[in-house]
Amino acid sequence: MSAAASRFLASLRPEQRSQAQLRLDDRERTNWHFVPRSRKGLLFKSMSPEQRQLAERLVATGLSRRGHDTALTIIGLETVLAETDGPMRDPELYYLTIFGDPGARQPWGWRFEGHHLSLNFTSPVTAVPAVTPSFFGSNPNERRQEGAVVQRVLAPEEDLARELVKSLDAGQRKVALLSSRAPADILNGPGRTLTSPEGIGYAQLGELQQALLVRLIKVYLDRYRADVAAEEWGRIERAGLATIRFAWSGGLEPRQGHYYRIQGRSFVLEYDNTQNDANHVHTVWRDAERDFGVDLLREHYLESHRDAGK
């Protein structure tokens, strides 16, 4: 990852590099969002073909094959939206920003962001990178041609959750269902303090239901490369599966507005599908301890101070 970032930076002209590279402690690093707006960083549209290829290679170093394919599909949907929404929808309106120096033996990070996609990596010197906040969205999530479904971008995120909620008996549903109406959007977006856990606890689920919940959690984790997914699942297990809660709001059938949230001791996974006749999905993964690598950076600086005192 650091080598890919260094190669990308080396390909830039001085004026491009001043746009693409900021300090790790720049306030822009935490200024994440998923709407189509201008951002600090280098715009794909302004890159040469070689630079764009190097940028794409960096993005690929952080994701699994499925996660990378999903990200590319989300970007490609901007072409579909441009037919109705105009030039503000453009698959080239995505920004890459490097925070810090990937070639130094110091923590650094990067962000790849645009409409419906926000990837935020914080890379310490030795540990696996932190990857939250993480946002994947899709509009339209389902595309049809001549009445047949030809594409469903975030299908497992929807299908596994619906299978889980529909498997609940009456008593379990009473605990899990927060409202018959889904909120208009995710509640744990940019600048928001994380919600409190609500819904049915892991221990209140049957064995098959617990397995479904684990599969659903791993759909989000497995967007990222294998060592990241394994590290994050390990953190969830160490915190205790019994701390996890699953909550649902809205309808239970496809194309009915619906929402769910999975929340543990520090992490939250959230899904909302209410816009465009429930065909416009927003998903976010956040972590109170690890967003922007807060815990990893704290440990790095403590270790540095210990070494300096020897």
pTM given for the model? 0.96
pLDDT at 306: 53
Q: Determine which helix (DSSP H) or strand (DSSP E) holds 277, and give its type and residue range.
A: helix 275-278
Torsional sign, CA 282, 285, 287, 291: negative
Query: Mean pLDDT in the chain?
Result: 96
Q: CA-CA distance, 240 to 272, in Å (whole number)? A: 26
Length of the chain counted residue by residue? 310
The one-letter code for the residue type at 87 is: P
Mean pLDDT of 176-181: 98
Is the separation of the CB atoms in 131 and 1 below 8 Å? no
pLDDT in tens, 186-238: 999 999 999 999 999 999 999 999 999 999 999 999 999 999 999 999 999 99
CB atoms within 10 A of CB 297: 17
Contact 78, 115 (CB under 8 A): yes
Give the pLDDT mean for 256-284. 98
Question: What's the confidence (pLDDT) of residue 125?
Answer: 81
CB count within 10 Å of CB 194 equals 16
C-alpha closest to that of 5 among 56, 48, 73: 56
Calculate what percentage of the chain has a pLDDT beyond 90.
Answer: 90
Nearest residue to 272 (alpha-carbon basis) of 193, 171, 197, 161: 161
Token pair for 20 = 């693409």
| pLDDT at residue number 14 | 98
Please identify which residue in the block is written with the tokens 């715009």: 43
Residue with tokens 């221990």: 203
Contacts of 214 (CB under 8 A, 6+ apart): 241
Domains of the chain, residue spans: 2-130, 154-289
| Statement: residue 307 has pLDDT above 60 | no
In this predicted structure, what is the pLDDT of residue 310? 55
If you average pLDDT over residues 58-68, what whole number do you get? 99
Q: State residue 127's pLDDT score.
A: 85
Question: How far apart, in Å, are the Cα atoms of 45 and each of 17, 52, 91, 170?
Answer: 15, 9, 9, 52
Has residue 308 got a pLDDT over 70? no
Q: What is the pLDDT of residue 86?
A: 87
Q: How far apart are CA 181 and CA 171, in angstroms?
A: 19
Distance between CA atoms of 295 and 288, rounded to whole angstroms? 9
Using the structure block, give the residue that is written with the tokens 């098959």.
208
DSSP SS3 for 69: helix
Residue pLDDT, tens place only, 68-108: 999 999 999 999 999 988 888 999 999 999 999 999 989 99
